[in-house]
Structure 1
Amino acid sequence: MPFTARPQIGPDLEFSTRLREYVHRVSVAIGVGWESCAVDTSSPATGYIAVDWRLPGHADRDVAVLWDETQGWSVAIETHSGEDLIVVALLGGSLTPDPSAVADFLADVRGGTLAAPGAPVVPLPRPDLTASLDRHAAAPLLS
């Protein structure tokens, strides 16, 4: 009888895979290639997406879209000195919103609309965060 059991992967690899898939899906939704992305799965886990345009009032600063497991999505500008990025807008609400919601948020920020953030993000234990990320994995990738 052939072996048909599904291989098991550990929770760390599962989380890493799901987070990378999610950041990739957000990058596609905002029109940025995977080569402009970085993911760090240490604690706290983070995602970084560089965009190739500037924000009104910050024409001399590069822009990045950030995710971390304690705050969710934000938009930040780079500093000239290599210091921490300066967050200019925070999405709030869900820790893992649909990629189209992140794209809409980014479009609003880019258009100069800095709406008040949604409700504060509630951090999740890693197993719950992995499950939340998993719901995006089944959706078809649009690019």
Structure 2
Amino acid sequence: MIPLLTGIDREYGLLCGLTGYLAAVGAAVGVGDESCTVDLGTPVSGYVALDVRLARHPGRDMALLWDEHHGWAFAMETHSGEDLLVLAYLGGDLVPVPSRVSRFVAGLRSTGGPVAAPVPPDLRGDPGELVARLLRYRRDEWAAGGPFLRRAG
């Protein structure tokens, strides 16, 4: 016997939902799909490169990071290629609507960036609920079986 919901099903659901969610957030902050990446490792995470600079860090590229534990973070690229430096966390909700993420970025941009060190929120919840919430953003090509798997006919 094989259970209907396996780890593969969860990964596929996360991939389908998270790619659509990142695309929707990317569009809300003014960047395209080419600026977004997904990592299905532990924890599941996403990255959105931003076309944003902060007054306090004019020579640094900025990005949004998302993971299944902390939700959204606003981060700064380093010159050394090391991990990004998290400047702020959105908090409150693991899967906020894209417009809320966009307002978060706009607020940080208008103030020049945060001054205090960020504290990561723990937003972990039910894994099945996370997949269900992300699947609301699933794009049509994933609903049809993925970009390389099309329905015949």
Give the alignment's TM-score, normalised by structure 2.
0.76
Q: Quick check: 69-78 or 126-135, which moved more?
A: 126-135
Tell me if structure 1 keeps the 8 A contact 2:17–2:136.
no
Match of 1:133 in 2: 134
TM-fit CA distance, 1:89: 1.1
Aligned residue pairs, count: 130
Amino acid at match of 1:132: R
Q: Deviations over 1:13-44 (max 9, x none)?
A: 11111011111110011110010111111210
Amino acid at match of 1:134: L
Tell me if structure 2 keeps the 8 A contact 1:93–1:121.
no
Tell me if structure 2 keeps the 8 A contact 1:50–1:65.
yes
Is 1:30 matched with 2:22?
A: no
TM-fit CA distance, 1:127: 1.6
Tell me if structure 1 keeps the 8 A contact 2:63–2:74.
yes
Is 1:83 matched with 2:82?
A: yes
Match of 1:5 in 2: none
Counterpart of 2:123 in 1: which secondary structure? coil
Change in CA separation of 1:130 and 1:115 when aligned onto 2, cut-off 3 Å = farther
Distance 1:13 1:78 in 2: 29
Give the alignment's TM-score, normalised by structure 1.
0.81
Match of 1:74 in 2: 73
Match of 1:93 in 2: 92
Unaligned runs of 5+ in 2: 1-7, 140-153
Unaligned runs of 5+ in 1: 1-8, 139-143
Identity %: 46
